[in-house]
Amino acid sequence: MDTPLSWIKAFVPDLECTDREFADAMTLSGTKVEGYRRLDKNLEKIVAGKILKIEKHPDADKLIVCQVDVGDFTTQIVTGAPNVKEGDCVPVVLDGGRVAGDHDGGSPENGVKIKAGKLRGIESNGMMCSIEELGSSRDIYPEAPEYGIYILPDDVEPGTDAVKYMGLDDTVFEYEITSNRVDCYSVMGIAREAAATFNLAFRYPEVKETGNDEKCSDYISVEVKDPDLCSRYIARVVKDIKIGESPDWMKKRLRACGIRPINNFVDITNYVMLEYGQPMHAFDYSTIADKKIIVKRAKDGDIFTTLDGVERKLDSEVLMICDGQKEVAIAGIMGGENSMITGDVKTVLFEAATFNGTNVRKSARRVGLRTDASGIFEKGLDPNNAYFAMERACSLVEELGCGTVVGGSVDVHSDLPRPKRIKFEPERINRFLGTDISKEDMIAYLKRVEVEYDPASGDLVCPTFRQDLLGFADTSEEVARFFGYDRIPVTLPSDTESMGRLPFKIRIENLAKDVAESFGFSQGFCYSFESPAVFDKLRLPSDAPERKAITISNPLGIDFSIMRTLPLNGLLTSLSTNFNRKNKDVKLYELGNIYVPESLPLEKLPDERMQFTLGFFGEGDFFSLKGVIEEFLIKAGMNKRPHYDPDSNRPYFHPGRQADISYDGEIIGYMGQIHPLTCKAYDMGKADVYAAVLDMPKIIEKAVFDRKYSGIAKFPAVTRDISMLVPKAVLEGSIEDMIIQRGGKILESCTLFDIYEGNQIHPDFKSMAFTLVFRNKEKTLSDDEVNAAMKKILNGLSSMGIELRS
Amino acid sequence: MIMDNLQSIQEKALKQIEEAGALDALNDVRVAILGKKGELTSVLKGMKDVAAEERPKIGTLVNECRDKIEAALEDAKERLESAAMDERLKREKIDVTLPADKKALGHRHPNTIALEELERIFIGMGYEVVEGPEIEKDYYNFEALNIPEGHPAKDEQDTFYINGDILLRTQTSGTQVHEMEKGRLPIKMISPGRVFRADEVDATHSPSFHQVEGLVIDKNISFSDLKGTLALFARELFGEDTKVKFRPHHFPFTEPSAEMDVSCFKCHGKGCRFCKGEGWIEILGCGMVHPHVLEMSGIDPDEYTGFAFGVGLERIALLKYEIDDMRLLYENDIRFLNQF
């Protein structure tokens, strides 16, 4: 919504303030000013000049030399403009002045300074201006020539301030209007807020009663067949139409709002729409069959040509304005080609109506046509305002002399909204706001926005254009706005006793971050939705459960269309970005949800599972990644030995370098080297990439922060090293399992310290060496005890086909 | 005779000790004087030739002589050891300006740093952190927040739908409703989380971003409490001299509603490129919980009041760390992450 300050001042005549003061005050009272621009920014020393004489430039074919009367004196200006002739009155920027635009249509920040000089040897003391140089455009000055100087009317006195004359000594403010303030999508609504903000009188426009002796109802009847979608339909008729130009004051206001003046009739409908926030429509009365307007839903599949010449497909939820035989407009959206005003219109049927906002919005979307009018209607308008707008339009018709208004109107409506009554509770308002405002002051603030206090009932009575005022909280806000949000005291909730707390889940997640970072992994953020093509990149078979993903019905595109069921894609994509930007040794982790549906299509909310995902390329290998996982588990108080099952068969991993990670008999995650084909699919064909995923809900079930001190060993340990030949197929983990199990209570630790495969060893075997540490916490171990344990272990080894080496 | 001998031994020994330049030389002296075959030892061996009445006197003299020599040996040893250590320490001198042997630590994402900052501040004020679902029922995202079917705000938010009833939440405000429905009062919580809106990716938009919701409900909670709380928050987050400004605004689920601006922390309100010359930067939306919202969640608005606020986490991160393009937050380029 854009409004020129001059138009606001027409409603609030006593308003005196700078642009900045206006913007700040309006913003602080709730009408947020997004920005403002002076129309005469960079326009200096520009006057009306009359061209007295034109001569050819002696040395340049395309230039002419003009003698221009600029009021106090006559000056010589050389121009290349093709359109000026002797006697024309034009805007002239004098020596030392400034214009907003340059020759190439640009508008530099500080404009263009104009100085006297010579053009091809001939003196030129200024410049005649095009509309672009005046900082505007042909969009809203359609009469301006495409190339050349903007011509002012002949009767402008030379020397007149051209900026003022053209109404450019004004500031246009742009507002952010919130959806609850439909009334502020109008100059009047904003002016009303301005009056309240500055506590000044608000003056309604002068609206005269209009109409001749005839009766509108003799011209037209109106039937609303679908009153659920049309709360009011007012029709009036104007005959003996005289299409012509609108007066300057109206054109200036329209232009300042960015609307191009067209002719008096069209301009009036636009003007009233801006002023009252009520869109109006004008039909050529001669095209309306059977003197009848019928408002009803369209039929599915109806085709209708709107006045922009485009065929629109309708359905049974689109409300149409029809005459006795045909459809003539899409209600609230756009009129039809078949009934539009043309240059030779004699009689006009004026419409001011209110429609169901939601229906207009949805219809506009389905029909594929969002107009200025529909944009306003969809907010849901006040039927009472439609009446005032119609009266204003007809009054302007008479004032501008563009036709004869037929007496009366045809006005069909259901129950009109009545002023809402809200109980006035000043003490409660003060409690709610934390203020100490007197009842009288509150009443005065509310009166500024036409909310009246009725002492008899103790109610506040709200005008119907304020559809947002419904209860206690709303009236509190009105009081707060005009008391001033900045004057409300600053306190803290004093009675509320509470404990600040991070839930256990987040504490464990924070721990995961700390551990990952201590190992050099940096945190990434990845999207929750991705492309179904991800499953192919990860080589998941067609029946993989991960492919059962939730689909977004209206995604931004196929690449963002499914909710991820496993977290690898995001991290691999990020690693690929880094790899292809030649970043070295990149380690990333992510904490983010996957979304596992119970069934599809989705009936209940899915299981959102937080995944702790780590991935890297460059320095490191499977075991360094395993180290991160195990350090994390230990920090999370999970001190039992995790197990690694190499038969995890995950297609996105190297078949010989992957494992499911289990703890306490339950799978808590998986890890491995990314399969070369998956790497290739992520444009990392040459990288060795490793990744691990931990399922945080499982971790959170098992994690504990409690610790118990178990004493520091006082008695000496006994250390035994064993070196062995192990069949290649035997896993180190299973040897450790066996040793730990057979070593019993006195086995403190079992550590692999050497592993060798190669020349000195039989090709079916590998050499391994462990250090075993035995200790009894209560006493010094005897050799017998250690030997007994060792014997069990050695028996175990041999049962696994393992030979001891000497 | 013996006494002269003692005297000369002592003098010679002390001289040799003083002249000894190294520990082994000193040891030679010790052996030569005090060793089994040392000079002083042989004097003692010669005691049998001394008259009995002289023996105690001579014995004392010998002992004195030995003590002196031993003390001198000890001093010399200390002196030489200390010199040797000085020598070693000198040799061991390193160039302390050589590069550090750093272990490369990873870095937290700026979103997380900002979030943990917010959590720290609000936990300090006694807020509990709670979370809600990212895939949500329409009711919690809209209807229970006073945004019924057909409400323009519902369209404005460009919601991603799974089906008619289930959607990707567009705001964390739904957690307010979940908390209120638990029926445990008072409530003092913040709820961070991921939200989704159908915005194309560009420098200032992302189809998924994060918010932190706040909610306080109790008897006698007032708008002034809201102001005080958020002013305190802003000072803690942006610096002690931060000023705040509350502008009336509209949100369907709060009334009165406001947007809070903070004085630009770069130019301190004078106006700069960062704050687009305004001197103020918009930070969050807030308001008093709408009575109808309380009512729908089973809380009596005549007895309880409350305030709520919502902060865009990315917005805070972009502002605080002066990041000029939102896309950087989701690319995870290590050269970006390493800066935090």
SS3 B249: strand
Q: In chain A, what residues touch B291 (CB-CB under 8 Å)? A: 471-473
A32-38: strand order across its sheet = A2-4, A171-176, A32-38
Average pLDDT of chain A? 94
Please give the CATH architecture assigned to the domain spanning A718-804. 2-Layer Sandwich (3.30)
Inter-chain CB proximity B228 and A593 less than 8 Å: no
- For B91-103, the pLDDT digits (tens) are 999 999 999 988 8
Two tokens at B289? Answer: 């919980």
Dist CA A659 CA A644 (whole Å): 5
Calculate mean pLDDT across residues B110-138. 96
Single out the residue of A706, A692, A668 nearest to residue A516, CA to CA.
Answer: A692
Report the b/e string of A484-494 with b at 16+ CB within 10 A.
ebeebeeeebe
Across the interface, of A554, A583, A593, the residue whose CB is closest to B335 is: A583
Q: In chain A, what residues touch B334 (CB-CB under 8 Å)? A: 522, 578, 583, 586, 588
Asked if residue A213 lies in contact with residue A303, where contact means CB atoms within 8 angstroms, the answer is no
Two tokens at B340? Answer: 């935090």
Per the CATH hierarchy, to which homologous superfamily does domain A504-702 belong? Bira Bifunctional Protein; Domain 2 (3.30.930.10)
* pLDDT for A498 beyond 90: no
Under the banding of pLDDT at 50, 70 and 90, the label for residue B34 is confident
Q: Residue B12's pLDDT is what? A: 87
* pLDDT for B3 beyond 80: no
Calculate mean pLDDT across residues A212-238. 96
Work out the end-to-end distance of chain B between its first and last CA atoms, rounded to an integer number of angstroms: 88
Under the banding of pLDDT at 50, 70 and 90, the label for residue A614 is very high
**Vertex A206 angle, CA A202 and A208, to 5°:** 150
Under the banding of pLDDT at 50, 70 and 90, the label for residue B1 is low
Q: Residue A170's pLDDT is what? A: 93
* pLDDT for A565 beyond 90: yes
Q: Residue A109's pLDDT is what? A: 87
Inter-chain CB proximity B228 and A513 less than 8 Å: no
Which residues pair with residue B249 across a beta bridge? B257
Q: Residue B268's pLDDT is what? A: 84
Please give, one letter per residue, the 3-state secondary structure of A274-343. Answer: HHHCCCEEEEEHHHCHHHEEEEEECCCCCEEEECCCCEEECCCCCEEEECCCCEEEECCCEEEHHHCCCC
Q: Which residue of A has its CA nearest to B108?
A: A523
* pLDDT for B325 beyond 80: yes
Across the interface, of B119, B160, B218, the residue whose CB is closest to A493 is: B218
ipTM of the complex: 0.88
The C-alpha of A321 sits at a distance from chain B's nearest C-alpha, in angstroms, of 22
The C-alpha of A519 sits at a distance from chain B's nearest C-alpha, in angstroms, of 6
Rg (C-alpha) for chain A, rounded Å, is 41
* pLDDT for B46 beyond 80: no
The C-alpha of B322 sits at a distance from chain A's nearest C-alpha, in angstroms, of 18
Inter-chain CB proximity B288 and A473 less than 8 Å: yes
* pLDDT for B69 beyond 80: yes
* pLDDT for A421 beyond 90: yes
Phi, psi of A464 (to 5 degrees): -70, -20
Across the interface, of B220, B255, B338, the residue whose CB is closest to A474 is: B255
Under the banding of pLDDT at 50, 70 and 90, the label for residue A217 is very high
Q: Residue B299's pLDDT is what? A: 97
Dihedral class, residue B322 (left if φ above 0, else alpha if ψ from -120 to 50, else beta)? left
Inter-chain CB proximity A522 and B166 less than 8 Å: no
Beta-carbon count within 10 A of B39 CB: 17
Inter-chain CB proximity A529 and B305 less than 8 Å: no
Q: In chain A, what residues touch B327 (CB-CB under 8 Å)? A: none
Report the percent of chain A where pLDDT is more than 70: 100
Two tokens at A720? Answer: 């035994």
Two tokens at A575? Answer: 């690693």
Q: In chain A, what residues touch B335 (CB-CB under 8 Å)? A: 581, 583
Across the interface, of A181, A527, A608, the residue whose CB is closest to B330 is: A527
Two tokens at B150? Answer: 């057909």
Report the percent of chain B where pLDDT is more than 90: 65
Residues in chain B: 340
* Burial class of residue A146, CB neighbours in 10 A (0-12, 13-18, 19+): exposed
SS3 B17: helix
User: Is the domain covering A420-483 a CATH 3.40.1080.10 domain?
Assistant: no
* pLDDT for B324 beyond 80: yes
Calculate mean pLDDT across residues A145-160. 91
Inter-chain CB proximity B150 and A358 less than 8 Å: yes
- For A643-690, the pLDDT digits (tens) are 999 999 999 999 999 999 999 999 999 999 999 999 999 999 889 999
Per the CATH hierarchy, to which homologous superfamily does domain A44-165 belong? Nucleic acid-binding proteins (2.40.50.140)
The C-alpha of A702 sits at a distance from chain B's nearest C-alpha, in angstroms, of 20
User: Where are chain A's structural domains?
Assistant: 2-39+171-198, 44-165, 216-413, 420-483, 504-702, 718-804
The C-alpha of A522 sits at a distance from chain B's nearest C-alpha, in angstroms, of 4
Across the interface, of B162, B194, B334, the residue whose CB is closest to A550 is: B162
SS3 B252: coil
Which residues pair with residue A803 across a beta bridge? A725
Strands in B10-127 per DSSP E = none
Report the b/e string of A50-77 with b at 16+ CB within 10 A.
bbeebeebeeeeebbbbbbbbeeeebbb
Inter-chain CB proximity B290 and A29 less than 8 Å: no
Q: Residue A761's pLDDT is what? A: 87
The C-alpha of A551 sits at a distance from chain B's nearest C-alpha, in angstroms, of 6
Single out the residue of A402, A233, A393, A222 nearest to residue A324, CA to CA.
Answer: A222
Dist CA A302 CA A619 (whole Å): 67
Dist CA B9 CA B62 (whole Å): 10
Q: In chain A, what residues touch B338 (CB-CB under 8 Å)? A: 522
Asked if residue A591 lies in contact with residue A696, where contact means CB atoms within 8 angstroms, the answer is yes
Calculate mean pLDDT across residues B265-273. 84
Beta-carbon count within 10 A of A276 CB: 28
Q: Residue B7's pLDDT is what? A: 85
Fold annotation for B110-337: BirA Bifunctional Protein; domain 2 (3.30.930)
- For A42-91, the pLDDT digits (tens) are 999 999 999 999 999 998 889 999 999 999 999 999 998 889 999 999 99
Q: In chain A, what residues touch B227 (CB-CB under 8 Å)? A: 434, 485, 488-491
Inter-chain CB proximity B256 and A477 less than 8 Å: yes
Across the interface, of B105, B124, B248, the residue whose CB is closest to A520 is: B105
* pLDDT for A450 beyond 90: yes
CATH for A216-413? 3.50.40.10
Fold annotation for A2-39+171-198: Phenylalanyl-tRNA Synthetase; Chain B, domain 1 (3.30.56)
Single out the residue of B16, B3, B24, B5 nearest to residue B69, CA to CA.
Answer: B16
Report the percent of chain B where pLDDT is more than 70: 99
- For A280-331, the pLDDT digits (tens) are 999 999 999 999 999 999 999 999 999 999 999 999 999 999 999 999 999 9
Under the banding of pLDDT at 50, 70 and 90, the label for residue B5 is confident
Q: In B182-279, where does DSSP find H-type helix?
A: 223-238
Q: Which residue of A has its CA nearest to B335?
A: A583
Q: Residue A242's pLDDT is what? A: 93
Query: Which of A363, A425, A429, A498 should be substituted to probe chain B, the one whose Cβ sees the most B Cβ atoms within 10 Å?
Result: A498
Two tokens at A237? Answer: 């008729």
Q: Residue B156's pLDDT is what? A: 65
Across the interface, of B135, B290, B337, the residue whose CB is closest to A606 is: B135
More confident residue, A455 or B151: A455
Min mean pLDDT across A78-92, A748-762, B91-105, B269-283 is at B269-283
Strand pairing class (B244-251; B166-168): unpaired
**In angstroms, what CA-CA distances link A316 with A8, A298, A303, A324?**
42, 5, 12, 19
Query: Which of A177, A428, A522, A560 should be substituted to probe chain B, the one whose Cβ sees the most B Cβ atoms within 10 Å?
Result: A522
User: Where are chain B's structural domains?
Assistant: 2-91, 110-337
Inter-chain CB proximity B135 and A595 less than 8 Å: yes
